[in-house]
Amino acid sequence: MLSPYVPIVTMFCLATLFVGASVLFSSRHIGPRRFSRTKAEAYECGIEPTPQGPGTHRFPVKFYLTAMLFIIFDIETIFIYPWAVTFGFLGVFGLVEMVLFIATVFIAYAYVWRRGGLEWD
Amino acid sequence: MISHLASASSTAVAAGDIKLPSISYSALSPILVVFGVACLGVLLEGFLPSRLRPQVQPVVAVLGFAAALGCVVSLAGTHELTAANAVAIDGPALFIEGTLVLFGMVSVLMFAERKADPDGGALVADAASLPGQGTHRLAARNSQTEAYPLMVFAVAGMMLFAAADNLLVMFVALEILSLPLYLLSGLARRRRLLSQEAALKYFLLGAFSSAFFLYGIAMLYGYSGTVSLQGIAVSSGLLGKTDFFLYLGLGLLGIGLLFKIGAVPFHAWTPDVYQGAPTPVTAFMSAATKIAAFGALLRVLYVSFAPTQWDWRPVVWLFAILTMVVGAIVAITQRDVKRLLAYSTIAHSGFILVGVAAATQNGISSSIFYLLAYGFTSLGAFAVVMLVRSGDGEANDLGQWQGLARRSPLLAGTFAFLLFALAGIPLTSGFTGKFVVFSAAIGGNATFLVVVALVTSAIAAFFYVKIVVLMFFQEPRAEGPVVVRGSVLTYAAVGVGIAVTLMLGIYPQPVLDLAREAAQFGFVS
C-alpha cells in the first residue's frame, strides 16, 4: 500500500544520518572550538544587540502592529490580483463577491484608523 | 457530485470552464445577518464616542440576534445546499442556528452586566496592564466593548460550523469561532493573570487541535478526492479502496472536534479556561461552543461516515464512557465553583456522546434537544456565579458558598434548582434531556452505554447535592460571600435559564417535536 513511499523514507533516514554524522558528530569532535564575546552575543543583523534581561530599559515593539496591518492588505492584494485577471469570466458575480470582500477589509481598516492603530507615537 | 468535483480539481481549467457557484442568500440569511451585525459592531467601536459604546453595543447585538432568529424561523423546513454545496441549510443546521442565536442573546445580557462589580463590567479594557499602573488607572473603569462584536463573530462562526457541508468551510468556521474566544478568555477584570494564562493555554491547545483537524481533512481528501461531506460518504462506499486513510482522517478530524466539545482525553483545557475566563464568557462557551461543535460532529459522523458507522460507533462508545466517568469523578474533588461547573460540562458532553453513539435519527433529535436544555441551565448557573462575590471579585471558592441560603435564600434556591437540573432530577430539563438521550441510545442498541451513563449520573448527582447541602445546611462563615445586587440584565439571564429549565422539565413536548422534525440531515447519500 505504501510501497512508493519506501524510497522517500529511506532518503529521509539517510539525510538524518548524514546530518547527525557531519554537523553534530564530526564538527563537535574534529573541528576546533574557540569562543569569543562576539560569538556568544545574540545575532541581530550585525548591529549591536538590544540590551535584554533585568536592569535594562524596555524597548517598544510597536512595529508588530504595522507588520500585522501590512499582512492584511498584502492578503487583500493576493485575492484581488487573480480576480482582476479573470474578471471577464467572473462577471457580476465576481464583482459582488469582491466588493463584499473589500468592504469587510475596509471595515477593519476604518476601525484601525479611528482607534489610532496607524499612528506611530 | 463526483464529476463536478473532478472538474474543479483538475489543474488546467480552461477559461470557459469556470462554473460560478449559485449562492442562495436567503438560505444563508441568518449567518449573513449575524456576520453583518458583527461588522456593524466593529464600525461602532471605531466611530462612537467611548461613553456611548457600553450602552449601544449590547442593544445592537441583541437586535441583530433577534433579526437572525426571525430569519431562522422564516426558513423553517428549508432543505437546501448552497454556495457550491459548501453549506447545508437543513433541519439540524436551522435548529442549532436558532439555539445559538438565543444563547447569544442571553450571553449579551451577562456581558452587559456592569453593576455587579463595583468597577464596571466583568470584561476590562486594557487587560494587559497591571492594576496600579498609570495606564491602568485611566482604563480601570472602562469595559472592553470590543467584546460584543467579538462574541457576535464567534456566534456567526458557530452557526457556519454547524451548517458546513464541506470540510474546508468547516475549518474556516472553526477558526472564526475559536479566535474571538481565545481573546475573550483573557479579558477578565479580576484575577487577570489567571485569565491571561487561560487565554494562552486555550490558544495554544486550540491551535494544536486545529492542526489535527486540518491534517484529518488532508487525509480524507487523499482518500476520497473531495472535501465535501457527501462526497466522502459516496467514495467510502466504493469497493477496492484501502480504508486506512479514511479512518486516519476520521481519527484526526475527530480529535479536533472532540477537543472543542471537551471530551476526555481532550478535555484538559476545559477546567483552566472555564475558571480563568470572565464568567459571562465561560457561560457563553459552555452553552454555545458545545452545541456548535456537537452539530459539526453529528454532521461529520451522520453524513460522511454513515456508511462506516459500525466502525466508528465503538470508538464513540469509548469516548462517551471515558468522558462521563472522568468528568463526574474528578468534579467531586473540585473546590472552585467554576472548575466544578467545568467538570460538570465535561460529564454532560459524555451524556450527549451517548446520544451521538445511537447513530439513528433519534440520536440527532435527542442530542440537539439535550444541548438546548443544557445550554440554558448552564447560562443560568454561571449568571448566578456572577452575583456571589467577596471583596473585589467573585467568590469562587466553594467554602465561601457555605450557608449562602442564610444570606440570600432566593439566590441559593435558584442555584439549587439549576444544580438539580444539571443532576437530572425530574421536573427539570435535565431529566427530560437525559431521558431522550438514553432512550435514543437504547433504540440504537447501546444499552450497556446507558447503564454506564446511569451510574455516572448517580455519581454526578452526588456533587451537585453536596453543593446544595453546603448552601442550605451549613452555617455561613464570618467572611462569607456577599450577594450583590446586579442590574436587571443578570436577573433576566438567570430568569431565562430558570424558565427554560422548568418549561422543558414540565412541558417539553413542543421543543421535542421541533427537535424531531429538525432531526434529518438533508442529502444523506
Kindly list the distances between the CA atom of residue A101 and the CA atoms of A76, A92, B246, in Å, as whole numbers in the listed order: 8, 14, 35
Q: How far apart are CA B93 and CA B159, in angstroms?
A: 8
Kindly list the distances between the CA atom of residue A83 and the CA atoms of A76, A87, A95, in Å, as whole numbers in the listed order: 11, 6, 9
Provide the mean pLDDT of chain A.
84
Q: Under an 8 A CB cutoff, do B46 and A86 touch?
A: no
Note the helical H segments in B186-286.
192-224, 229-236, 244-261, 269-276, 279-284
Give the pLDDT band (50/70/90) at residue B57. Answer: very high
Number of CB atoms found within 10 A of residue B8's CB:
13
At A8-58, the pLDDT tens digits run: 999 999 999 999 888 888 888 888 888 888 777 777 777 777 766 676 666
| pLDDT, position B105 | 95
| pLDDT, position B98 | 94
Contacting residues of A for B39, CB less than 8 Å apart:
104, 107
Provide the mean pLDDT of chain B.
87
Give the pLDDT band (50/70/90) at residue B18. Answer: low
At A95-106, the pLDDT tens digits run: 988 999 999 999
Q: How far apart are CA B47 and CA B511, in angstroms?
A: 42
State the nearest Cα–Cα gap between B249 and chain A, in angstroms.
Answer: 16
| pLDDT, position B524 | 54
Cβ-contact B473, B409 below 8 angstroms = no
Nearest CA to B397 out of B255, B275, B268, B293 is that of: B275
Q: What residue type is B302 in one-letter code?
A: Y
Q: How far apart are CA B350 and CA B328, in angstroms?
A: 10
Number of CB atoms found within 10 A of residue B70's CB:
14
Q: Under an 8 A CB cutoff, do A1 and B242 touch?
A: yes
Q: How far apart are CA B157 and CA B242, in angstroms?
A: 34
Mutation site for B-interface testing, chosen from A107, A112, A113 by largest number of B Cβ within 10 Å: A107
Contacting residues of B for A86, CB less than 8 Å apart:
15, 18
DSSP codes, B93-126: HHHHHHHHHHHHHHHHHHHT--SSSTTS-SBBSS
At A72-96, the pLDDT tens digits run: 889 899 999 999 998 888 888 889 8
Contacting residues of A for B15, CB less than 8 Å apart:
86, 89
Kindly list the distances between the CA atom of residue B440 and the CA atoms of B76, B203, B424, B434, in Å, as whole numbers in the listed order: 24, 35, 17, 10
Cβ-contact B344, B421 below 8 angstroms = no
State the nearest Cα–Cα gap between B81 and chain A, in angstroms.
Answer: 18
Whole-model pTM: value is 0.86
| pLDDT, position B63 | 96
User: Does residue B368 register a pLDDT over 50?
Assistant: yes
Contacting residues of B for A108, CB less than 8 Å apart:
42
| pLDDT, position B525 | 43
Domains of chain A and any CATH numbers: 54-121 (1.20.58.1610)
